[in-house]
Every structure is written in structure tokens, then in C-alpha cells.
Amino acid sequence: MKRLFSLLAVCLLGVATVLGFAPFYLYLVPVITLALLVLFWRKSSTPMQAAITGFAFGMGLFGAGVTWLYVSLHDFGHMAPALAVLALIVLCAYLSLFPALVGWIVTWRYFRSAWIWPGIVAAVWVLMEWLRGTILFAGFPWLAVGYSQVPDSLLAGYAPVVGVYGVSLLLMLGVAWLACWLAQRQQYRCWLYLASIWIIGFGLQQIHWTQPEDEPVTVSLLQGNIPQDMKWEPEHLAATMRAYARLVQASPSRLIVTPEISFPIYYDQAPRDYLEFLTEHALTQQGDVLVGMLEYSAADNGYYNSMFSFGASPEQSYRKYHLVPFGEYIPLKTIFGWVIDVLHIPLSDFSRGKPGQQPLNLAGQRVAVNICYEDVFGEEIILQLPQASLLVNVSNDAWFGRSIGPRQHLQISQMRALETGRYMLRSTNTGVTAIINERGQVLQQLEMFTTAGLHGVAQGFKGATPYVRFGNSIVLGLIGLILFAGGVVAFFGRYKTL
């Protein structure tokens, strides 16, 4: 019974960790909850016990943190409630295997007794986060703990240098030292190590890694607020296009952006007079309109989730590259083909755009476009840098309803702005539509579920942060060095305990 209560407590620690993420932004909460998790690991009698503890923590973290998936599966995918809950439990159980594996590895006897143990905890945790974000259907990096430190924590200062996984590494290193102090109160140097991480983070925040380029550009980010259950109904298409026509006409900016697939029709089926209207309005502002539409390519018989530009610049387009598994394509159709019959998701068989697409030249800016889920992958965003002067994310987070999902997505965009030293402009169907500066701060945002345009200015930037130059190679190199050092210490049997 005592063990059961212990696992329940650890699960609740995982639930509480969600408070560090948007919309709560209580970035100190994960410092405490993760330190207590590491303390549980340190007191575990066997690696298997630590693995079960890690699994319980993961079930709490992901069970509370990705509840918005139920909205997508049931409310809009029309999956039966019991099946939607089961699917969510299976996903959370899979994601929880990663913290379980961390607990199992870090409690090996040779690791646990070594002075380098806090570094091993941090390195293994972040290695598991990175693997979770890359393997199995292109990865699911949501809720990497580094996101919880954006934008107000001093640890956010590390983001332009080592990215979100580097922030996770520094956070976990700090909480491991804190756990060591909790386990052995006389180890006061743990506080010195912990303070040094935060002080260096503060110093890094004072550095401007990129520089403003030319004059700011006026921008209008449109939020059509089209209900998800009406968006794909043919009888509502005309009303949708009229709504965006009004928003475009009321936009006084050089760069106007509509959300992902704001017009749920194929580009070659769009009324020519409507596209001419968009072009003419953009010309009056000496700028461009960026519009989300579907695209069919006869050349490869492919269907694409695309963005098209109209206006003063030559017409350009961007095709989404990183697709959402089970939402935009079905992986391993021979195994998971039945999902198409269960989920009522329109156009769940998109083709991938080419990797390495270049920024679009719009309104005097070089715009790196990313569509919805793509901005979760920082290592892919930087492929358009340092050429790009602005980042633009277009999304349709109406799939998540009024859950915490859209706010978490906003926080992810804040991290991308910090990593790249660029403004991030977000145009979404129902929210959160926002202007984020190069420091990851939200300058302006629209209320969710309102029909409006967000009118403001965005400053283009040039230059490259260390993360833009080196991507995740820095943090992966650090992980490799720490684990190598840990292996050497374990091999030679120098078990001086921290």
C-alpha cells in the first residue's frame, strides 16, 4: 500500500509539472517537481523500481499535458468516447516509457554512486527527450521540459545557444543537484552549482545574437474563427471566403497572413476574380497577402498543404514538409489503414513538400513559412536561416477546441523565436494569433475564438544565433561527453558520491 501511495504521489508530481507550461507559465514548478522525481530515483532500491517511478511520473505529465488530443479525436474526429480515451491512454503509456527508461538507466549502481551522477541524470533525460522527438512516425517532442522555461525564466537565456533541448539539459542538471542536496543536506556546493546555471543564463540574456535589418514592416495576422465542424462543409465555403475578404480589406499592412488552409479549396479551383481582389488590395499597400489553400500537383499526383502569395512580389508558394501522423497521413497503411474508417478527418493523405525550401520574398522581407506542427521541430525551422528575416507560423488549432493545446503551441513558437533571434508571426484560425519578438515575448495577441485581424509591426533581423549555426549538435555533443565521462568513472570504479 505504501508503494501504491508513493506512485500516486509521483503521478501527481507529473500532473503538477504541467503548470510550468502555457497557459500557466509557472516555470519554477518544474524545478521542484523534477527535483522530487530525481530524489525518488535516488532513493529507489532497484532500477526496475526507478523505471516504474518514471513511468508513473510520465503518465501524470502526459495524461494532464496532452488532454487536448481527446478533443481532436472525439469532438472533431468523431471517435467513440471510450476508444478516444483508450487511444489517449496508449499514447501516454508510450510517451511514459521514456522517463521510465531514464529512471532505469540512472539508478544503475555504478552510475548512482559516481560524483558525475547529476550530469548523467540530465544527459539521459534529454537524450530520451530527443529520441521521443525524432523516432516513431517522425516524433512527438511536445512537453519537452525546456519549453517550461520560456520566456521568463533565466534559463531561457540558453535557448539561442543550445535550443530547447539544451534548456532541458541545464534545467535537469540543476534539479539533479537540488535533489542531491535534498538527499544529503551537507552538500552545500550543490547550491553553488545551481546558482551558477541561473546566473550564466541571466548573462546570456543580455547578449543580442542578431541585429535589426532595415525598417519594421507592418503586418496583419488574420483570425477567421471558422468553426472546425463547419470548415470543410461545401455549403459554408462562400461564407468563409467572404469573411476573409472582409478581414483582408480591413488590413492596412504590407504583409497580410491568413491561417493554414484558410480557404478549404484547391488553388486551381479558387475563383480568379477573388485572387485578383487579394492581389489588388496587396498592391494598394505595396505588399503581399499570404493565403493557405490546398494544392494538387499533376506532375507527381500529390496533394499538398500549401501557402500562396499574391501581391507586389512575384507569386510564390510553400508546401508543408513535416506532416502530422494520423492527421495528414497514415503511417504504415497496411497496419493502421483502419484509422481512416474510425477518424473522420478530411484529406488525411497529404504529400510532403520538398525539404530545404527557401524563404519567400514578401513585403520587403525574407519570410520563413512553417505550417502548424512544423514549428515543433526547431532543427527544421533553422534550415531556412540565417537567410530569413522573419518567421511565420500558420495553424488551425481549432482541432484542440478550448483546451490548453493552443496555448502550449504558442509557447513552442516563443521558443522558436528565442532560438533563432527572429520575430515569429502566428496567424491561426481560432487562436492564438500573436506577434512574438526575437526575445520570445508576446507583444500582441488576439482573444481566442474571435473574428479579427491583428495589426502591428514586425522587425526583420539578420545574423545567426549559435543554435542557428550548429542546431542540436552542441547539446548532443554535450550529452555524449557526459555519458562518456560517466562510463569512464563507472568503469574505473571511482564511486565518490556527490
Residue 83 has pLDDT above 80, yes or no: yes
For the beta sheet containing 434-436, the strands, ordered from the edge strand earlier in sequence to the opposite edge, are 360-362, 365-371, 390-395, 424-428, 434-436, 442-445
Distance CA 386, CA 467 (A): 11
Question: Do 419 and 167 meet the contact criterion of CB atoms below 8 Å apart?
Answer: no
What's the whole-number mean pLDDT along residues 220-235? 87
The whole-angstrom separation of Cα 423 and Cα 459 is: 7
- Quote the pLDDT of residue 381: 95
Higher-pLDDT residue of 112, 200: 200
**Cα atoms found within 13 Å of the Cα of residue 185, Cβ hemisphere only:** 0
Q: Any idea where the domains of the chain sit in the sequence?
A: 2-208+472-492, 211-464
Residue closest to 57 by CA, chosen among 30, 78, 26? 30
User: From the candidates 372, 374, 379, 438, which is the catalytic residue?
Assistant: 372
In this structure, the chain runs to a length of 498
Residue 190 has pLDDT above 90, yes or no: no
* Per-residue pLDDT at 328: 63
State yes or no: is 372 an active-site residue: yes
Residue 65 has pLDDT above 90, yes or no: yes
- Model confidence at 282, pLDDT cuts 50, 70, 90, reads very high
496 has a pLDDT exceeding 80 = no
Partners of 458 in the beta sheet? 217
Bridge pairing between strands 211-212 and 302-311? unpaired
In the predicted model, is pLDDT for residue 153 greater than 90? yes
Report the C-alpha gap between 275 and 463 in whole angstroms. 35
Would you place residue 84 in the very low, low, confident or very high pLDDT band (cuts 50, 70, 90)?
A: confident
* Lowest-pLDDT choice from 54-58, 237-241, 358-362: 237-241
Q: Which CATH architecture has domain 211-464?
A: 4-Layer Sandwich (3.60)
Q: What is the pLDDT of residues 103-120, one digit of tens each?
A: 999 998 777 666 788 999
Mean pLDDT of 213-219: 96
As a whole number, mean pLDDT of residues 360-389 equals 96
pLDDT for 333 beyond 60: no
Tell me which of 130-139, 196-205, 254-263, 337-346 is least confident: 337-346
Task: Supply the pLDDT for residue 133.
Answer: 93
Long-range contacts, 486-490 (Cβ 8 Å, 24+): 486/111, 486/114, 486/116, 486/117, 486/119, 486/120, 486/123, 489/110, 489/114, 489/115, 489/116, 490/108, 490/110, 490/111, 490/114
Catalytic residue among 320, 374, 379, 419: 320
Split at pLDDT 50, 70, 90, the class of 326 is: low
Decide if 320 is catalytic: yes
Tell me what the mean pLDDT of segment 167-188 comes to. Answer: 87
**Lowest mean pLDDT segment, chosen from 176-185, 195-204, 270-279, 306-315:** 176-185
pTM for the structure as a whole: 0.93
Mean pLDDT, rounded, for 386-406 = 92
User: How many beta carbons lie within 10 A of that of residue 358, not counting itself?
Assistant: 13
The phi and psi torsions of 170 (rounded to 5 degrees) equal -70, -35
What's the CA gap between 118 and 112, in Å, rounded?
Answer: 9
Confidence class of residue 332 from pLDDT cuts 50, 70 and 90?
A: low
Question: Given pLDDT bands bounded at 50, 70 and 90, which one contains residue 348?
Answer: low
Q: How confident is the model at residue 350 (pLDDT cuts 50, 70, 90)?
A: confident
What is the structure's pLDDT at 59? 98
Output the 3-class SS for 382-426: HHHCCCCCEEEEEECHHHHCCCCHHHHHHHHHHHHHHHHCCCEEE
Confirm if 212 and 460 have CB atoms less than 8 A apart: yes
Name which residue leads in pLDDT, 180 or 110.
180
Of 181-195, 320-334, 471-485, the least confident: 320-334
Average pLDDT, integer, range 155-173? 98
Residues with Cβ < 8 Å from 413, sequence gap 6 or more?
375, 393, 424, 426, 434, 436
Res. 33 pLDDT band, cuts 50 70 90: very high
Which of 87-91, 206-210, 342-346 is the least confident region? 342-346
Average pLDDT, the chain: 90
**Sequence-separated (6 or more) residues with CB below 8 Å from residue 110:** 489, 490, 491, 493, 495
